């Protein structure tokens, strides 16, 4: 609370032009921060997972091949 009061006292001692300039800087920083955030959100939103169906197909092939090999090993063990 004391820091807010000291900030208000400091602003009270400044000229009106300095207060306007300070508000302009604050607004500029807010707008600059918003555009950086929008860019991050945009880069996440445009990251399409176009390789996902291909990866799923590869995993299915691996699963099928492992199943076939497991069946072969099981048949060899039972055939002894």
CA distance readout (Å), 36 to 1, 15, 23, 26, 41: 31, 32, 20, 16, 9
With 80 as the cut, is the pLDDT of residue 38 above it?
no
With 70 as the cut, is the pLDDT of residue 34 above it?
no
The tokens for 35 are 């555009």
The structure's pTM equals 0.38
The tokens for 71 are 């069946």
């Amino acid at each position: 609370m004391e820091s807010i009061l000291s900030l208000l006292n400091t602003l009270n001692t400044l000229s009106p032009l300095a207060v306007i300039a300070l508000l302009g800087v604050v607004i500029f920083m807010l707008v600059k921060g918003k555009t950086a955030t929008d860019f991050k959100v945009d880069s996440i939103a445009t990251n399409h997972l176009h390789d996902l169906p291909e990866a799923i197909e590869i995993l299915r092939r691996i699963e099928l091949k492992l199943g076939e090999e497991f069946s072969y090993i099981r048949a060899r063990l039972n055939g002894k």
